[in-house]
């Protein structure tokens, strides 16, 4: 059994929070009975109506995209900029699992499954993410140590230990490229980590999320995740949570 507001949101009618408002306003009925209790649970086969109209449960969809630069990870943008959702041909109301900055490219998942999304992006699940980046300057041994032990960000929070692999040092251009693996997903985390060390990120690309990569997709291209991939991602999240207990 599932909470009524969760089922309404999963049907793509509205968000879970707005679904709670609909229930509180007495606009939702289950099997002909008006429900105003937010904790009410429904079972498979129950007839759910919103404003007298029966809802249809949406199939869950999962997409993997190679996000292009200069796109937003939102459903719409007030300034009219292109969003990654615009690039996907899908009738369901989908959203990104986490976000990449406007000028960042790489692996991004889109879905209409809120529970799945939370399992992937929440820091406690420790899903690894690999980024390829170029910074101005050359990493010092001291900075390398800080990356491995944790960096205190501008909000006072210390990041979890990360891994890195230097791929190129260019002393003439005074820049350094490397792969950085993190298991968190804090807002603008990579750029904030580098800013805390005194560097500016010149290029940023997410090459992997767990075992998923986008090397076979051109920027803007996407594919449907296979069922075993979705299952494996959930399994990784569960293992990550168990380690924290």
- Active-site positions read 101
Six-digit token string for 13: 């009618």
Is there a contact between 202 and 175 (Cβ–Cβ < 8 Å)? yes
How far is 224 from 175, CA to CA, in rounded Å? 37
Three-class secondary structure assignment of 125-191: HCCCEEEEEEEECCCCHHHHHHHHHCCECCCCCECCCCEEEEEEEECCCCEEEEEEEECCCCCCHHH
Dist CA 86 CA 67 (whole Å): 12
Phi-psi region at 139: left, alpha or beta (left = phi > 0; alpha = psi -120 to 50): beta
Inter-residue contact 169 to 176 (CB < 8 Å): yes
Q: With H, G, I as helix, E, B as strand and everything else as coil, classify residue 205.
A: strand
How far does Cα 188 stand from its chain's mean position? 12
What is the pairing mode between strands 201-209 and 105-111? parallel
Q: What is the SS3 assignment for 223?
A: strand
């Amino acid at each position: 059994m599932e909470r009524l507001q969760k089922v309404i949101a999963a049907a793509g009618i509205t968000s879970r929070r707005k679904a709670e408002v609909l229930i509180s306003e007495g606009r939702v009925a289950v099997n002909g009975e008006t429900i105003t209790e937010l904790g009410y649970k429904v079972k498979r086969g129950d007839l759910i109506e919103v404003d007298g109209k029966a809802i249809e449960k949406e199939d869950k969809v999962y997409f993997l995209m190679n996000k292009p630069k200069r796109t937003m990870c939102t459903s719409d943008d007030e300034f009219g900029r292109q969003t990654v959702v615009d690039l996907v041909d899908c009738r369901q109301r989908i959203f990104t699992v986490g976000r990449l900055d406007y000028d960042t490219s790489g692996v991004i998942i889109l879905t209409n499954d809120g529970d799945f999304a939370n399992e992937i992006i929440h820091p406690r699940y420790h899903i690894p993410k690999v980024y390829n980046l170029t910074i101005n300057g050359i990493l010092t041994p001291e900075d390398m140590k800080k990356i491995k032990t944790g960096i205190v960000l501008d909000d006072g929070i210390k990041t979890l230990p990360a891994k890195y692999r230097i791929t190129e040092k260019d002393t003439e251009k005074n820049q350094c490229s490397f792969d950085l693996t993190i298991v968190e997903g804090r807002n603008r985390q990579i750029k904030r980590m580098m800013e805390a060390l005194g560097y500016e990120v010149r290029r940023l690309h997410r090459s992997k999320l767990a075992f998923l990569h986008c090397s076979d997709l051109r920027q803007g291209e996407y594919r449907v995740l296979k069922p075993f991939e979705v299952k494996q991602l959930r399994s990784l999240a569960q293992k990550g949570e168990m380690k924290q207990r």
